[in-house]
Amino acid sequence: MAKIRVKQVKSKIGSTQRQKDTLQALGLRKISQTIEVEATPQILGMVAKVRHLVEVTEL
């Protein structure tokens, strides 16, 4: 599987609790934090739900 890099670029303040939980499940806790994960359908779905808060690049 391909890997993707997910970086939080906006604050979660003002987001719904569900979006905050999604960011936490991805492992993002603060702005500019970056994670590298496998591009599974589950991860891609989570990223799609918070796409306005994160930046995604393919590796």
pLDDT of 1 strictly over 90:
no
Please say whether the beta carbons of 55 and 5 come within 8 A: no
* 13-40 residue pLDDT tens: 999 999 999 999 999 999 999 999 999 9
Q: What is the C-alpha R_g of the chain?
A: 10
Per domain, the residue ranges of the chain are 3-58
User: What percent of the chain has pLDDT above 70?
Assistant: 100
Expressed in percent and rounded to 5, the helix, strand and coil fractions of the chain are: 30, 25, 40
Distances (CA, A) of 41 to 11, 16, 24, 35, 51: 25, 22, 18, 17, 15
| Token pair recorded at residue 32 | 């500019």
**pLDDT averaged over every residue in the chain:** 97
The topology (CATH level 3) of 3-58 is Ribosomal Protein L30; Chain: A, (3.30.1390)
Phi and psi at 5, nearest 5°, equal -110, 125
The share of the chain scoring above pLDDT 90, in percent, equals 98
